Amino acid sequence: MEIIKETLWNRIFHREEIKKQREEKHRQQHIIDVAGDFIRSLEESKDLTTILRIHKDIWGSGLRNRNIGPNPYGMFRTNNIAEMKAEEVMLGNFFGLFTYSIAVWEKNDSAKQPFGANTYGIDPEKSVYDVIVGQYRNHMINNVKAIRDEAEKFIKEYNEKC
């Protein structure tokens, strides 16, 4: 969105653009306001189902980008994030791990076993499940931060021009 200066001229002759611009500013400020709480919640999460619930809350609050949205071939194989099920979130495919849904990772007893010796720098005593939790958690945290950073950039530009 191109930000236009809120001069008297623009307020008179570009009323709708100014209105939309102010609404966007409020939306972006909301993102900044809630992002920190979501990041803290994600950092404290210890299991996949909690992160899935937080993911839905993030999406529902308006924090969105394509990396945390639906993708028929990506991590979130659903049509609607708000209604996403554990069977639709695909995790793994890194550090030599297969790709499975949250439902499978939650039920998989071998995921509770230690990761074991590896060349990835992962603590061998850390469970495979904890590695997968870290994958989902880090993916969400990094994307919430990216969304927040874009909102901060918009607010900065808005404040400089208006």
CB 47 within 8 A of CB 86: no
Check whether 24 has a pLDDT greater than 90.
Answer: yes
Check whether 1 has a pLDDT greater than 80.
Answer: no
pTM of the entire structure?
A: 0.92
SS3 label, residue 114: strand
Q: What are phi and psi of 113, to 5 degrees?
A: -75, 160
Alpha-carbon gap, residue 76 to 73, rounded angstroms: 8
Look at 31 and 8; give whichever has higher pLDDT: 31
Instruction: State the average pLDDT for the chain.
Output: 95
Dump strand ranges (E) for 30-161.
90-91, 100-101
Chain segment 62-104, per-residue pLDDT in tens: 999 999 999 999 999 999 999 999 999 999 999 999 999 999 9
Tell me the CA end-to-end span of the chain in Å, nearest whole number.
14
